[in-house]
Amino acid sequence: MPVEEIIEIEGQPYNVKESFALYDTVAVLANLSTLSRQPAGWYSSFALMGAANDHHFFDIRNKSTTDRAYCNLDVRDQFAFAFLLRHISVNFFCPYITTQVQNTDNNYLEPFQSAFWSAELPQHCGLTLKINQDEHLKANCLELGAGPTPVGGGAGQGYVSATPFATAPMMLGALGQGAATLNNAWEFPKPIGIPRKAAVSVVITPSEWARQNLQFRLGPYSYTFLDDEVTANFKSPVMFGIRVTLHGNRLVQPRGSYRA
């Protein structure tokens, strides 16, 4: 039965159609091991991420194994409700304080990784969308659009202080992939009906060049902020991430009318 028809069945409970988005995230952060939850498929270094051939979404994490900011799935490997898929977007987000600092005594500043991640890496990654056994999309990640990203401007100061980071010359960026609107997403010509409990997966496959590039990189490094004692700088690891979002309508069973 087409999923659209599930909305209204005479004499049967009906589903409520709501606009919704499902998203899942792969992230790279140095302090992954210190978090209370270490989501599957996340990495503690660029080198480890570069060693992986591909990265999976929507079939490995849920909002319990990950923070809700990064994944809003109820079930790790099935859809919790019927869904009409209308758009897909991929956002390579990064620290927008684009100068990061190493966790070493020499306080080496790394200014280039955010720009590489957000503006260069998507060009070198492919994406496959699979619903049950069918491939519905195979595309370059930069083609798909990122949805809303930072808009505006920031400027770093050119001052190099003798005191490490006290007034360190940070570069501030507003990076994204395309126009920063919700409409900036790949649109399917006709909504794809995904039944409840279907298996959906998105796989991002970096090119050999991209994987070698990631393996070559050190980091990710850290932010530096003035600590709450106002006495020193507090270093905290930054996070780079790839968030895939499926936009569409969910068909929700009304309260008290749950069924298989």
Partner 1 sequence: MGTDLFNRGGLTEHSGKWIAWFDISLVSSSDKKKGFFEMENNIAPWEVHDTIVICNTLYGPEQSANGWFTSMAAFGQRTDHTLFKGRNQANVGLAYNNMQSQDRMDFAFHAFSFGLRFFGPTSIPENDSIEGATLAQDHLGHFFQYDLPNHVAVSFQVEQDEKILLNSYLAPSGYGPVGSGASYGADTPVGAENQMTFVGSQGSPDRRNRWQFDTPIGIPRNGTIEATLYISEWARNILSNIYGPSYSTQTVDTGTPGSPESTITRFPTRYGIQGTLYGLREVQLRGQYHR
CB of 129 to partner 1, least distance (A): 18
For partner 1, the closer CB: 34 or 212: 34
Toward partner 1, which CB reaches closer, 168 or 204?
168
Q: Which is nearer to partner 1, 7 or 215 (CB)?
A: 7
Positions that interact with partner 1 (CB under 8 A): 17-21, 23, 29, 31, 35-37, 63, 67-70, 72, 91, 93, 95-97, 147-160, 163, 166-168, 170, 172, 174, 179-183, 223, 225-231, 233-234, 236, 239, 241, 243, 245, 249, 255
Tokens matching residue 111: 């200014």
Considering the complex, state which of residue 39 and residue 211 has its C-beta at the smaller distance from partner 1.
39
Which residue is associated with the tokens 């589903």?
A: 15
C-alpha distance across the termini of the chain, in Å: 15
Q: Of the two residues 46 and 92, which places its CB atom closer to partner 1 in the complex?
A: 92
Tokens representing 204 are: 């991002």
Give Cβ neighbours of residue 111 (< 8 Å, ≥ 6 apart): 98, 99, 100, 171
Q: How many CB atoms lie within 10 A of CB 21?
A: 16
DSSP 190: E
At closest approach, how far in Å is the CB of 208 from partner 1? 28
Bridge partners for 249 per DSSP: 19, 84
Closest CA to 185 of 103, 246, 229: 246
Q: How far apart are CA 73 and CA 21, in angstroms?
A: 10
Look up residue 7 and give its two tokens: 């909305």
In this structure, the chain runs to a length of 260
Residue 148 C-beta: closest distance to partner 1, Å: 3
The residue (of 174 and 198) whose beta carbon lies closer to partner 1 is 174
CB of 23 to partner 1, least distance (A): 6
Q: Least CB distance from residue 8 to partner 1, whole Å?
A: 14
Nearest approach in angstroms of CB 49 to partner 1 is 17
